[in-house]
Structure 1
């Protein structure tokens, strides 16, 4: 097997474990705070659960650009291993937490040292042939999506079988093994001597340089919008499902099913659309996917039954499958050589920002114009983003080709 395919297989597995580990605590976090860490007041439990879950994204948003800078200087594989082994240790330590403060601080440390995903994307972009880039990015994304979908399911299942604390030990061990596999199997061609000869640009100056490239700014906006628009309605989904069902019977099941529908179709569509983008162009797939995802928000706001909502979200997930692989491929295309790590880390920061802001703004919009309004606002934002992408990517490419 050629080396880039070996890299892709190992990093797919790593992406799966990282995202599964990040989401595995969702089903039992409140119960863990109650039964293991001594909290009793429901309001206090809910408040701590919110802070603990968000803590990871806050520090990840701040520190991702720093790790991106170091990856451009010392290599993507080094950042990959730093993040993988570091998160494995922190995950195990979470199982020894004795107070909510311990868990919050460890989640924040985890976000601080995270960077496995952008390092994986950067390494794949540097080692994959250009004519297979879309396929590789789509396949890599499917690993993260699979982890995000199956993580909560595995967490709930393991909590019933082995208890809460052992889940952290198991996840940490799996992350350690995935990092060990990457250490021996993954290879990259990186010249540290040549990288050290380049000017040591600060994180802020690096962002300024990348900010002068309009294509990158529109691509970063796509990444933010994906998380903002998809995560925003998620806390409200059980209420919307309850409204459509007219009963609380099996509410948790249907809310979870609806919440994962887009992820399931995304998982299947991402590699297929990535392969298609290698033939017809990433810009075209990105534009079609943005418009398609925007349109599919509208019937979700008008759904009359849970089954309709389920079908609309499943179809939307297919369009979403064309977004991240296209964005990652195009980031590599428009990023100056030697700044790939920074570009992917800034992109990862925008994803974390969307994760933080989406639920807050979604809740505000819902209180103002209802849950249905959240879908309509998301649709409008996707359309605006599609216009921006057309102006900075498609329209500019047409000018270049004519000249």
Structure 2
């Protein structure tokens, strides 16, 4: 009996790196495929007969938001099922489901059909929360921060490269063909997950008796005072990113002028945040393993607030480019650290639900960011949008500090503790 348990533990320890590599690739393929088509929705609407103008913008906004609305509603439900029946089935449900729905979008004949398919796509989505839960529970504790940062970098790599690949494919095979390629790539991620990803935690292990419903699970999670603060951080990160994105072209135009290479300069500023996020997330995750994740989180939040304020003083294009790079660096220390801390605070057996609620918080930020920033733009102006973001982030940072506290000592981290314990006396 003991030997069997020891063999299972050995297999789990041996394969966590393989799991991480496979799920990184899955995150990259799923996110990259999804972002292949998002920038071209207005163009696709023209093919569907929507005339250019106010109607086109309304349809594009509704279709873009539809995914996040259904994602926000459905993620906690999938998380509950994952904790009860297993995380790998949820990975397969998400990847196979999205593969079919994405391919179907290429056959849409009306804007309404495309809107309904986007809603269905958001309902099926949820690869990342289950992948995060598998990595968090199957990775050695002293490597959690590094693993979370690496896994998150797969999402960012997909976000950065997806639009570029989508643009090239659209020129080659047309917009409808891009949807077929997207479905095929997601199918590839599903097959790889089915064949090689291992989840060693038994379904239903450690579940809470009063968490049988979605709201019951949320109540259980919120009994731990740190969890609502961490979910608010996830929402605020996405609010800051999506709330400012619609105004980046205007900001670049103000600094650079309406001259040559304007589109290129806008593209560089829009992508540099994702590039720095992808580069620094694994490094800051590794740092949180060696120190205290709370320290990395609070320092990154303070840095993000400062960078947002400095947008008000930007007078040259290179300054804006540098600020967006620094913002990506700070966010690289936020998202993986939030997920590392969630693993520490969440009740055992509710990991996937916690990460699903985290994804719902991100979706809420994706919807609220453009809405609130757009509504306030007329009163506070272009730079005022960044000041609003900074103020909200500062309030969020203060609340998080109060809930989590600042480490009084200088802990050496889980990895350092393990290394020190193995030293000879």
Q: TM-score under structure 2 normalisation? A: 0.90
On the 8 A contact 2:302/2:394 being kept in 1, the answer is: yes
Q: 2:127 aligns with which of 116, 139, 143?
A: 116
Residue 127 (structure 1) aligned with residue 135 (structure 2) = no
For 2:277, which of 257, 266, 276 is the aligned residue?
266
Q: Establish whether residue 12 from structure 1 lines up as the match of residue 29 from structure 2.
A: no
d(CA) in 2 for partners of 1:68 and 1:398? Answer: 34
In the alignment, is residue 30 of structure 1 matched against residue 53 of structure 2?
A: no
Aligned residues: 398
Shift of 1:212: 1.6
Matched, 1:191 2:213: no
Aligned partner of 2:344 in structure 1 is 333
Corresponding residue for residue 291 of structure 2: 280
**Is residue 167 of structure 2 the alignment partner of residue 163 of structure 1?**
no
Residue pair 2:210, 2:220 contacting (<8 A) in 1 also: no
Distance 1:274 1:195, change over 3 A: closer
The offset of 1:79, in angstroms, is 0.7
In the TM superposition, what is the alpha-carbon distance from 1:124 to its structure 2 partner? 0.7
Distance, in Å, in 2 between the alignment partners of 1:209 and 1:220 is 14
Give the CA deviation at 1:78: 0.9
* Displacement of 1:132: 0.2
Structure 1 CA distance, aligned partners of 2:68 and 2:38?
14
Asked whether the 8 Å contact 1:69–1:341 carries over to 2, the reply is yes
The answer for unaligned runs of 5 or more in structure 1 is none
Partner of 1:143: 154
* Contact 1:145–1:263, Cα closer than 8 Å, also in 2: yes
Contact 2:304 2:331 in 1 (8 A): yes
Whole-angstrom CA distance in 2 between matches of 1:95 and 1:141: 29
User: How far is 1:22 from its partner?
Assistant: 2.1
1:362 aligns with 2:373: yes
What CA distance in whole angstroms lies between the structure 2 residues aligned with 1:197 and 1:266? 35
What is the aligned partner in structure 2 of residue 212 from structure 1?
A: 223
Partners of 1:121 and 1:303 lie apart in 2 by: 37
- C-alpha distance after superposition, 1:267-322 (max 9, x if no partner): 10000111111001211110111001110112212211111100111122111100
Could you list the per-position Cα deviations for residues 5-45 of structure 1 after superposition, in whole angstroms to 9, with x for gaps in the alignment? 1111111111112211222113321111113x122242222
Secondary structure of 1:24's counterpart equals helix
Q: Quick one: distance in 2 between partners of 1:391 and 1:197?
A: 27
Q: Is the 8 A contact 1:261 1:310 kept in 2?
A: yes
Per-residue deviation, 1:328 = 0.2
Task: Give the distance between the partners of 1:83 and 1:116, measured in 2 at CA.
Answer: 6
8 A Cα contact 1:26 1:155, kept in partner: no
CA distance in 1, matches of 2:313, 2:171: 37
Q: What does residue 21 of structure 1 align with?
A: 33
Q: Give the corresponding residue for 1:392.
A: 403
Deviations 1:94-147 (A, max 9, x none): 111111111111110000111101111111111111100000000000000011
Q: Which runs of 5+ in 2 are unaligned?
A: 1-12, 412-425
Q: Which residue number corresponds to residue 356 of structure 2? A: 345
SS at match of 1:26: helix
Q: Are 2:392 and 1:381 equivalent residues in the alignment? A: yes
Structure 2: distance between partners of 1:65 and 1:341: 9
1:2 corresponds to = 14
* Residue 64 of structure 2 is aligned to residue 63 of structure 1: no
- Aligned position for 2:244: 233
Q: Is 2:64 aligned against 1:49?
A: no
1:298 and 1:376 in contact (8 A); partners too = yes
Q: Once superposed, what is the RMSD of the aligned Cα atoms?
A: 1.7
Segment of structure 1 superposing worse, 253-262 or 88-97: 253-262
Secondary structure of the corresponding residue to residue 336 of structure 1: coil
Instruction: Say whether 1:179 aligns with 2:190.
Output: yes
CA distance in structure 2 between the aligned counterparts of 1:115 and 1:193, rounded to whole angstroms = 19
